[in-house]
Structure 1
Amino acid sequence: MLNHRLIDIFSEPETFVKKAVQFLQKHAKGKKVFCALSGGIDSSATY
């Protein structure tokens, strides 16, 4: 099941950030991205 998620929630923070940036660069190339974070996994949103 975790293989189908964007990012493995058990990875190191540096790996999480690196994978997130790579994903966004690949899939949102040339588009605007809005991301809001506030400190908890349940309070993050991306549009």
Structure 2
Amino acid sequence: MEKQKPEEPGEYVYVAYITTRNGRRIYASHYGLKAFRLKNRRKRK
């Protein structure tokens, strides 16, 4: 069993689907998930 990386500090966004560069949508529900967790790349002011 491999070790998981420690949690990185920062804010995360949860989304139900991801749109790829070619316009295709990948839905979390197709992978048995409710949402994908993405690190928020936008800086807060």
TM-score by length of 2: 0.22
Name the structure where strand makes up a greater proportion of residues: 2
Max radius of gyration: which structure?
A: 2
Name the structure where helix makes up a greater proportion of residues: 1
